[in-house]
A and B are shown apart, each in its own frame.
Chain A
């Protein structure tokens, strides 16, 4: 691009004009505000306002079709001593931390394998990412069919093909296996995101660090522990926090596979929110379920946002 000197003076006066607005609001404020107005409108109308309304509704008795009656923290207090709700909280934690832990391990394995000396790297990467791209509802329905107690292929394989079990298991209908089954599906769907993020992180670690470690006599395991893991620390924090938020609020998988059953053994908070709102029609209480752990969510989001912005600035 040639710089034409004839236009230079005009171009230079273009920016630092000494107008009052310009100084206070910044040199690009007109185009800036014009460009962010649509985002601001969407954020205000689709997130900020509903969020405020949710806070208000959670402090009311609201039945569908009737005006809300303000009751303060009554919904929250009642939930605190409600055994079914307590169980949903515990289940949500089991579901979340069980899933996130395994996704972490599988993600590291996936990234290590994909950075090792293999052929068709992008083919393998593409294949392993499929669960993350495919519609979650479809995946959940697939597993519902695979786990089916009488005609499901999992029992067929375990009983008739490999003779590991004497008879089929009702994976989703028995209290002992239901939670493990929904966790497994969540791991299946979520581990590629961990893998691909760690892969990106590993590629960013300078090769010199590995060479230096090798010169110092570090073996494969030591290089992993002292070079790879520290290099991935920030990304690991970001991915774990992101996945914790997403998993904690995962509705589709549990709703499609078990609807919280059998007997509440897989009832997690988002499904309880939905059931309270649209089954029992108690909207105020339903939102209190959704917002019960808001302080923890807010802290997680703040920490995560800080790490994500830091990750960008490098």
Chain B
């Protein structure tokens, strides 16, 4: 490639990157700007792209006049509990399906993959009926019990790929040295797989944090809502209150984006390993 052609190509690449990045970031920029505007600024279309002055009343209203704080606690509780549950169950299960030799392994591995692909939209009504029969409808425990339906198959599938990529010789050597089968898993494979387990856990967390359909259907008590359903409930009234809705949106997005920025490397690897592997 000549130098000129290289420059043209680089220019084209950067142009496309900037356009895509603007497209991707604009809604978040707009959400943040809106959250700092007063009702008047919004209605009269003044200081459109940068709030002048910055108004913090939306955040105050959100915290004091809505159930936002309760929803935040609910979301943290549900997402953390179901993540711990799914990651531990998925990790040991994935190890067994990837490495251990026992009758029925192939069938179980296929079954796990297939359940990962079954969409929630055909499960939410029977799950709701089931939770109601168990007395878990309209409770956070019901959500914690239901979320493994999508987090466990996902974590298992992701980690199966991870365990398969660790050389079997390491475990064999450990067992020749006298380690038990469990010891080889616990002391050799698991520490080596920590980045994978971390990525899987993060994804399980974001999926649980972002989940909408089950939370919408199972929870009827306004105080027991999770953040996504709580935020969406702001638009069912006549007055939309975009200011505090957007401030709630900012606070809901923050933990996910913060975790993502901090652990981007693991998450990008996890994402590609989770569905496809090159």
Contact = CB atoms under 8 A, between A and B. Distances in A.
Interface of A: 1-4, 7-8, 10-11, 14, 24-29, 31-33, 35-36, 38-40, 42-43, 46-51, 53-54, 57, 106, 109-110, 113, 116-118, 122, 124-139, 141-146, 148, 151, 153, 156, 160, 188, 192-193, 196-197, 199-204, 234-235, 238-239, 242, 245-246, 248-249, 251-252, 256, 269-270, 273-274, 277-278, 283, 286-287, 290-291, 294, 297, 301-302, 304-305, 308-309, 311-312, 314
A201 B271 CA distance: 13
Given A32-B96, A246-B119, A197 B276 contact: yes
Given A51-B122, A142-B31, A286-B125, A31 B45 contact: no
B201 interface: no
B194 interface: no
A311 B16 contact: no
13 contacts: A32-B105, A38-B89, A53-B129, A122-B264, A122-B268, A127-B21, A136-B212, A142-B27, A142-B31, A242-B275, A246-B119, A283-B125, A290-B122
Contacts, number: 316
Contact of B102 (A29, A38, A197): A29
A239 B127 CA distance: 28
Contact of B176 (A7, A156, A203, A286): A7
A188 B236 CA distance: 24
B173 A203 contact: no
A25 B229 CA distance: 47
Given A32-B101, A46-B149, 16 more contacts: A10-B178, A11-B177, A31-B96, A48-B115, A50-B126, A126-B264, A133-B206, A137-B231, A141-B232, A142-B30, A145-B30, A146-B30, A199-B272, A201-B276, A251-B120, A251-B212
B80 to A, nearest CB: 16
A3 B177 contact: yes
B191 to A, nearest CB: 14
Given A139-B27, A144-B235, A200 B213 contact: no
Q: Which range contains the number of B residues in contact with the other chain?
A: 35 or more
